[in-house]
Structures are given as C-alpha cells and as structure tokens.
Amino acid sequence: MSTATATGKIRVLIAKPGLDGHDRGAKVVARALRDGGCEVIYTGIRQTPEMIAEAALQEDVDVVGLSILSGAHLELFPRVVEELKKRGLDDVLLFCGGIIPEEDTEALQKLGFKAIFRPGTNTQDIVKFVYDNVKK
C-alpha cells in the first residue's frame, strides 16, 4: 500500500469535535490510515474547533478528518473550517465521517469537505481517497 518513502509521509489529523464520546469509528479510520502508511495524529474526544485547528497547525498535517455522531456537524464543522482559515490552513484536505444525513451533503461540500464517509464505508476507500487527493 505504502508508496511513500521515508521522506514526505502524508500526515493526517483525526479529530472528534463536540461532546459525543464514541470514538470507535475515528479509531478504526485512524488505524486504517496508519496501516495505509500515513502518519496519523489522533487527538481524542471532546475537541473544540480551536483545539483541532491548533493541532492541525502545530502538526503541519496535509489532511484533517472529522468524526461526529452527535448531529451537531452543521454547527461545529463551519467553526472548525473558520478556525483553520484563521490560521492560514486553507490548503488542507478535509473529509468527515459519522452519522451525517444525505441532505447535509451539499452544505458540507460547500464548506470544503471533499468526502463524507458514512457507516458501512470500506476503510480502504478512505485510504485511497487520501492518497488520491493529497497534493505531494
């Protein structure tokens, strides 16, 4: 799977904004990306948009993946995007996953999310998505 050499590894931040405490999905995705050869920074549950953006900046990640199950994505995701932009991180690849209704797809795409992965997704599709879309 891994085509990258010791130089130029893809760095991915997997984060859970908001108050829901179920991070199995986030961990499964983190693990799949690790096995796909990425360097995955996992920050744990209950992250504020500021914490996520600050972690993305400090870790200089290429990709930010947000996981959410609480239904608060349309409140929280725009704030994450805003905090990222505030820090000049407008070139990171964004994707999200979790319990996200179909009707919210367009709103999230407009925010800059390049993909939405819902329950039942094959994790290999997520790995492929990352490798296909990161500008290296």
Residue pair 51/23 in contact by the 8 Å Cβ criterion = no
- Determine the Cα–Cα distance for residues 63 and 44; give it in Å rounded to an integer: 16
| 73/104 Cα distance (integer angstroms) | 9
CB of 29 to other proteins, least distance (A): 11
34 binds other proteins (CB under 8 A): yes
Backbone φ and ψ of 62, nearest 5°: -90, -25
Number of neighbours of residue 48 by Cβ within 10 angstroms: 14
Contacting other proteins within 68-107 (CB under 8 A): 87-89
Complex with other proteins: residue 60 or 82, whichever CB lies closer: 60
- The residue among 108 and 130 lying less far from other proteins, judged by its C-beta, is 130
Confirm or reject binding of residue 50 to other proteins (CB under 8 A). Answer: yes
Applying CB under 8 A, the residues found at the interface with other proteins are 1-2, 4, 6-9, 11, 30-31, 33-44, 50-51, 54-55, 57-60, 87-89
